[in-house]
Amino acid sequence: MMKKIFLLIFLWISVFFNAQSSIFQITYNGITPQAKLAIDKAAEIWSNILVSDVPIKINLNWVNASSLGFLGVCVSNGVKDFPNAPLTDVWYPSCLADAYAGTDLNPNQTDMDIYLDSSRNWYFGTDGNGPGNQFDLVNVALHEICHGLGFYSIANIDFQGIGSFSLEIDPNTSLLASFPIPNLAGKPLIFDLFIENQQGDLLANTNMFLNPSLGLANQFTSNNLFFNGSNATSANNNIPPKLYAPTTFSFGSSVLHLDETDFAPHTDDAVMTPYSSPGEANHNP
């Protein structure tokens, strides 16, 4: 039933070709004209794929993050139990919830906060033909927006080695969000419902994996997690695509990315792997 309702989270409704079918409203903070053109291009690409009557709101911060070590980071807003929600007690990214509800459920809040490191050696062009020593900004912006659209999980392992969904949030996440982080109360994000192990066991099935538990921690570091959405599986030669679950857990990287080995840099399906390489440019999510 769930597979029929949700085909692929980050392409969450249907594809309309050559016609903008959703609108992005981006609030820019500290942006340069060159960077804005590249980020606008990424939003345009997603606009031609996603279908929603409600504008998708982004708070975009162009900041020097050289001391923090990231290219970009996204904090996604969330809503549950909204009008027309397909499932109860499940958190949806707010822009997807808006699309289902047909209205802006949080009119005074953004759907996602994105931070991009202004100190990097960026390629600002929109043609995907940058030099091999520069990071393609369109590619990275596509990646971070995709997290805000729903390619997102709050999986974590605490200092005692206990794994959980939607319980332990890195304090820095709250500092980065412009909106109040809701009490997730251990309820799954919609992305979590499609995470399975090699045996086909769903990690959100609390009859098999208590939340929190050592069992979840073992799964998060098993190097054997997969996303079983129907479209994703079909597009991957009928094999559920492998998720990034290395033996050393990394909050914000583990579980909510595709596996870096199965989807190698510079290949067509590498947009949602955890790392981007200089010269890597994929503008077709």
At 98-145, the pLDDT tens digits run 999 999 999 999 999 999 999 999 999 999 999 999 999 999 999 999
Q: What's the rounded Cα separation, in Å, for the pair 181 and 178?
A: 9
* Average model confidence (pLDDT) across the chain: 92
Runs of H (alpha helix) within 6-112: 33-47, 94-101
Give the residue, 178 or 268, on which the prediction is more confident: 178
Give whole-number Cα distances, 128 to 167, 203, 278, in Å: 39, 37, 12
How many CA atoms are closer than 13 Å to the CA of 165, on its beta-carbon side?
27
Is a pLDDT exceeding 90 seen at residue 4? no
Q: What is the rounded distance in angstroms from the CA atom of residue 155 to the CA atom of residue 168?
A: 8
Phi, psi of 234 (to 5 degrees): -60, -40
Could you tell me which of 50, 51, 164, 60 has the C-alpha nearest to residue 118? 60
| φ, ψ dihedrals at 225, nearest 5° | -115, 150
Reported residue count of the chain is: 285
Q: pLDDT band for 18, please (50, 70, 90 cuts).
A: very low
pLDDT, residue 21, reads: 87
pLDDT at position 8 over 50: no
pLDDT at 3: 46
Q: pLDDT digits over 32-65, tens only?
A: 999 999 999 999 999 999 999 999 999 999 999 9
152-199 pLDDT, tens digit per residue, is: 999 999 999 999 999 988 777 788 999 999 899 999 999 999 999 999
Bond prior to 182 in cis (omega within 30° of 0):
no
Three-state SS at 171: helix
Q: What is the pLDDT of residue 169?
A: 81
Per residue in 235-246, pLDDT (tens digit) is: 999 999 999 999
Q: Is residue 20 very low, low, confident or very high in pLDDT (cuts 50, 70, 90)?
A: low
Interatomic CA distance for residues 134 and 120, integer angstroms: 8
Per-residue confidence (pLDDT) for residue 31, from 0 to 100: 98
Beta bridge partners of 114: 60, 74
The pTM is what? 0.92
**Over the stretch 197-255, which tens digit does the pLDDT of each residue have?**
999 999 999 999 999 999 999 999 999 999 999 999 999 999 999 999 999 999 999 99
Measured CA to CA, the distance from residue 277 to residue 27 in angstroms comes to 27
Task: Determine the pLDDT at residue 71.
Answer: 96
Residue type, 237: N
Please report the pLDDT score of residue 12 as a whole number.
Answer: 44
Which residue has tokens 């996604």? 76
Averaged over 141-150, what is the pLDDT?
A: 98
Task: Give the pLDDT band of residue 69 (cuts 50, 70, 90).
Answer: confident
| Per-residue burial over 232-251, b = 16 or more CB atoms within 10 Å of its CB, e = otherwise | bbeebeeebbbbbbbeebeb
| pLDDT at 17 exceeding the cut of 60 | no
Quick one: residue 4, left, alpha or beta (phi over 0 = left, psi -120 to 50 = alpha)? alpha
Amino acid present at 142: L
